Amino acid sequence: MRPPRAKTRRANVGVAPMAIVVVAAVIFAAVWLSSSGKSNNHARASQVAGSQRSVAPPSTIPPARVRPFAGHLLIADRGNNRLIVLDPSSNVVWQYPSASAPPPAGGFYFPDDGFFADHGRSIITNEEENHTIIRIAYPSGAVIWSYGHPHTPGSAPGFLNQPDDAFLLPDGRVTVADAKNCRILMIGPDGTPRSQIGTTRRCVHNPPTGIGYPNGDTPLPNGDLLVSEINGSWVSEYTQDGKLVWTVHLPIAYPSDPQQLGPDLYMVADYTRPGGIVEFTREGSIVWSYRVTNGPGMLDHPSLADLLPNGLIGVNDDYRHRVALIDPATNAIVWQYGETDHRGTAPGLLDTPDGFDLLLPDSTTPLHTATG
Give residue limits of the domains in the chain.
15-359
Are the CB atoms for 331 and 290 separated by under 8 Å? yes
- Torsion on CA atoms 262, 219, 309, 126, rounded to nearest 10: -150
Residue-wise burial string across 96-135, b where 16 or more C-beta atoms lie within 10 A, e elsewhere: bbeeebebbebebbbbbbbbbbbebebbbbbbbbbbbbbb
The residues, any chain, with a CB within 8 Å of residue 225's CB and separated by 6 or more, are 175, 184, 197, 217, 218, 219, 237, 238, 239, 240
Residues 198, 211 contacting (CB under 8 angstroms): yes
* 357 residue type, one letter: D
CATH of 15-359, one of 2.120.10.30, 3.30.499.10, 2.60.34.10, 3.30.1490.190: 2.120.10.30
Among 303, 45, 340, 62, CA closest to 177: 303
CA dist 213 and 300 (Å) reads 21
CA atoms of 223 and 186, how far apart (whole Å): 13
DSSP-derived letter for residue 29 is H
Phi, psi of 49 (to 5 degrees): -80, -15
Q: Which residues of 157-176 are buried (b: 16+ CB within 10 A; e: fewer)?
A: eebbbbbbbbbbbeeebbbb
pLDDT at residue 214, as a whole number: 98
Cα separation, 195 vs 174, in Å, equals 11
Hey, is 302 helix, strand or coil?
strand
Q: Residue 142: its pLDDT value, please?
A: 98
The single-letter code of the amino acid at 167 is F
Identify the pLDDT of residue 304: 98
For residue 219, what are the β-bridge partners? Answer: 225
Please write the tens of the pLDDT for every residue from 330-343. Answer: 999 999 999 999 99
Do residues 113 and 101 lie in contact, with contact meaning Cβ atoms separated by under 8 Å? Answer: no
- Determine the straight-line distance between the first and last CA of the chain, rounded to whole angstroms: 21
Mean pLDDT by 10 residues, the chain (372 residues): 40 38 39 44 39 40 66 98 97 97 96 97 98 98 98 98 98 98 98 97 96 97 97 97 97 98 97 98 97 98 97 98 97 97 97 98 93 78
- The pTM for the full model equals 0.87
pLDDT at 66: 61
Contact 369, 37 (CB under 8 A): yes
Judge contact between 247 and 234, C-beta under 8 A: yes
Q: What is the pLDDT of residues 59-101, one digit of tens each?
A: 444 444 567 999 999 999 999 999 999 999 999 999 999 999 9
Query: Do 238 and 225 touch, CB atoms closer than 8 A?
Result: yes
199 HSE (CA, 13 A, CB side):
9
Whether the CB-CB separation of 164 and 176 falls below 8 Å is answered with: yes
- Which residues neighbour 191 within 8 Å (Cβ) at sequence distance 6 or greater? 145, 147, 158
Distance (Å, whole) CA 172 – CA 166 = 12
